[in-house]
């Protein structure tokens, strides 16, 4: 049985760290990876209902997965808010593990966890890993 890891990506530094962590973990476990970007209302373009214009960004955001067996890597652009999208994909797969960064692209500075990671911690149907951001430097 193959382990399935679902990772949320949004172009943020914390999401990049999550993808890096997933790439190493998936390589060690021989796991299948489903990288998911929840396409929000502000990312839509007229005439592109499936948001294919974001495909190059998704490829860039998930580049650390390129060294894995590509038959075990899937990249998805999914319409919806991040929490509902991640929960839906985690249940559809079904995921053995969900991974997100501490805070996403829209996060406010000074907050330890973003709203998506907090809500996923409460509602995720399987184990959740929240990959921490960089450690603050002592000043």
pLDDT in tens, 20-46: 999 999 999 999 999 999 998 777 777
Structure tokens at 98: 């969900």
Burial of 61 (0-12, 13-18, 19+ CB in 10 A): buried
Domain span at 29: 4-131
Residue 4's pLDDT is what? 98
Count how many Cα atoms sit within 13 Å of the Cα of residue 136 in the half-sphere of its side chain: 6
The structure's pTM equals: 0.89
Nearest partner of 34 among 80, 2, 1, 56, judged by Cα: 2
CATH code assigned at 70:
3.40.50.620
Residue 105's pLDDT is what? 57
In a domain, 137, yes or no: no
In a domain, 136, yes or no: no
In a domain, 84, yes or no: yes
Residue 136's pLDDT is what? 65
Structurally, how many domains does the chain consist of?
1
């Amino acid at each position: 049985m193959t382990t399935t890891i679902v990772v949320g990506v949004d172009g943020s530094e914390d999401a990049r760290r999550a993808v890096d962590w997933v790439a190493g973990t998936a390589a060690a476990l021989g796991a299948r990876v489903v990288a998911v970007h929840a396409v929000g209302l502000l990312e839509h373009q007229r005439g592109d209902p499936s948001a294919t214009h974001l495909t190059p960004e998704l490829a860039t955001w998930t580049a650390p997965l390129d060294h894995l067996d590509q038959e075990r890597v899937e990249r998805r652009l999914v319409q919806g808010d991040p929490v509902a999208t991640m929960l839906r994909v985690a249940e559809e797969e079904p995921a053995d593990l969900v991974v997100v960064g501490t805070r996403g692209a829209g996060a406010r500075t000074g907050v330890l966890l973003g709203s998506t990671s907090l809500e996923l911690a409460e509602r995720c149907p399987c184990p959740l890993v929240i990959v921490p951001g960089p450690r603050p430097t002592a000043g």
